[in-house]
Amino acid sequence: MVSVGIDAIEIHTGKLCLNLGETFAPAQGEDPDKYRKGLGLYTSSFPDSYEDIVTMGANAAYRLLDRTGHTPADIGRIDVATESAFDNSKPVSTYIAGCLEQVFDTTFHHANKGERKFACIAGTQSLNDAYNWIRAGRNRDRSALVIATDTALYARGDAGEATQGAGAVAMLISEDPSLVELSPQQGYGSADETDFLKPNQQFPSVDGKRSVQVYLARMREALSDYASVAGKMHPDDFAYIPFHTPFPGMVRKAGLLGYRHVIRDTNVEEELASEIGRQPRMEAFDDEETYLDAVSEYTDKLKDTERYREWYERVIEPTLDISRYVGNWYTGSVHVARASALKHALETGRDLTEKRLLVASYGSGAQAEAHTEMVQPGWKDEIAALTIDEQLEARHDITFEEYEHIHDVHNHDISEDDTEEFTTPENEFVFDGWGRMGER
């Protein structure tokens, strides 16, 4: 069976930086620890005035193709995942391809282009589409380019405002990949939900508290469905579990859910039983409410065990390193979490070759997916090539007034003449009015 997966990855962060503890919290009259400790976020990325989902996606994709020596002729498919699209007809991939064609000598005329929408899970769905296209043998030796790009902005005053972010992740999906091989083992949890919507509007309508519950409910279903395919799991099966990360505090809750699934019916659950009992089984309860109460009681005890804390520090915490500094990137978020974990392994000298990841994606509306990936021998070179640290370091720190200005710019509330730029574009694609001229 041909091996298919992510061959290369590039990350592009928005070039402005909002410090949540020092700049945002005082303006909101909130304790900085609500953001740093509660949500787990220190700073977030914002796009400068000349950046948008097209330029961020094109900049990430150009770096990816340039670094790996690929040209448009090598790409048979371009899928863009976004929930920040500005055009209900023409897919964002055509705008991005248009930018890239200004730099390469060849075009993407032969490539199938599309746009995927299902909130934040669309990036993972695009990955699956590319995988299926290659596995079906329709790729004619070509690779697929998957780009997850979003400006995750909320209305000012919305509870989600603290979790904003902006950036793009570009991934090359190929046969014999260098980074991770995707496995056919997948599980889903899906239901018609209205926790987070953007019906033809700039900012989302969100029921924040409910969205957290819906995330956990769908993720629980996806993990159970995955277990029905993968069989019994064990906490040592996965080097890392990158979850969709709207903010690290959400993953604190998801991590506990993940642990309950990987210890189920294992020696670990047995060994913990003398300390906190075994986790409740639905069949032992007359109704769902008493079952859920028992689960909540068990979970409260589980999270305080040494065994869980050690596992969380090793398997989950490293997936959050980048997210803490960039905020929510919607479709790119789980792919940032995977990159963050692999980067942590590289920096701490951990060899991951042939180790497995359980990647857990989520999109509001709502759907969760869990699938496995196997780390490939070329992972170290691929992760060493990431420039995210330099990009984060180069971001411009904005004051609260500058934040308000840039928020208004991206909400199209400021005329072109009054728009300020806080950084200077260098060798990159820039948004230049409606024409979106690519410049390098």
Catalytic residues: 83, 120, 244
Residue 196 sits in the site that holds ligand CAA (CB under 6 A): yes
Whose structure tokens read 């989600």?
A: 160
Cα distances (angstroms) measured from residue 302 to each of 226, 228, 280, 290, 319: 22, 23, 12, 18, 21
Single residue of 18, 120, 320, 352 touching ligand CAA by CB under 6 A: 120
Q: Is residue 331 close enough to count as binding ligand CAA by CB under 6 A?
A: no
The token duo for 328 is 């929510």
Between 4 and 162, CB nearer to ligand CAA? 162
By the rule CB under 6 A, 246 interacts with ligand CAA: yes
| Of residues 215 and 311, the one with the C-beta less far from ligand CAA | 215
Considering the complex, what minimum distance in angstroms separates the CB of residue 330 from ligand CAA? Answer: 6
Using the rule CB under 6 A, is 414 a contact of ligand CAA? no
Q: Is 37 in the site for ligand CAA (CB under 6 A)?
A: yes
Residue (of 321, 351, 325) closest to 338 by Cα position:
321
For residue 366, say if its preceding peptide bond is cis, omega within 30 degrees of 0.
yes
Which of 3, 38, 74, 197 binds ligand CAA (CB under 6 A)? It is: 38
User: Is 362 one of the binding residues for ligand CAA (CB under 6 A)?
Assistant: yes
Instruction: Please state the closest distance from residue 163 (CB atom) to ligand CAA, in A.
Output: 5
218 binds ligand CAA (CB under 6 A): no
- The only residue of 25, 148, 250, 359 in contact with ligand CAA, by rule CB under 6 A: 250
Question: Contact between 98 and ligand CAA (CB under 6 A)?
Answer: no
| Contacting range for ligand CAA; rule: CB under 6 A; set: 61-69, 139-147, 209-217, 393-401 | 209-217
What does DSSP say about strands 16-19 and 396-397: parallel, antiparallel, or unpaired? Answer: parallel
Residue 304 in tokens = 């305080």
Of 183 and 211, the one with the shorter C-beta distance to ligand CAA is 211
Give least dist CB 400 to ligand CAA, A: 18
Tell which positions 301-330 bind ligand CAA, by CB under 6 A: 328, 330
Report how far residue 128's alpha carbon sits from residue 125's, in angstroms, rounded to the nearest whole number. Answer: 5
Q: How far is the CB of 405 from ligand CAA (least distance, A)?
A: 23
For ligand CAA, what does the binding mask look like between residues 50 and 89, x meaning CB under 6 A?
Answer: ----------------------------------------
CA 88, CA 278: separation in Å to the nearest integer? 50
Where do we find the tokens 């991206």? Answer: 410
Does residue 33 bind ligand CAA (CB under 6 A)?
yes
In this chain, which of 209, 228, 393, 412 binds ligand CAA, going by CB under 6 A?
Answer: 209
Kindly calculate the radius of gyration of the chain based on its CA atoms and give it in whole angstroms.
21
Is residue 215 near ligand CAA by the rule CB under 6 A? yes
Residue 149 contacts by C-beta under 8 Å, 6 or more apart in sequence? 53, 54, 56, 57, 60, 80, 81, 82, 84, 92, 167, 168, 169, 331, 332
**Residue closest to 20 by CA, chosen among 36, 3, 1:** 36
Contact 46, 327 (CB under 8 A): no
Q: How far is CA 429 from CA 65, 109, 247, 374, 400, in A?
A: 15, 20, 28, 34, 27
Q: Which of 208, 237, 266, 402 binds ligand CAA (CB under 6 A)?
A: 208
Q: Assess contact for 386 and 409: CB atoms under 8 A.
A: no
Sites of contact with ligand CAA (CB under 6 A): 31, 33-34, 37-39, 120, 159-160, 162-163, 196, 206, 208-209, 211-212, 215, 244, 246, 249-250, 328, 330, 362, 364
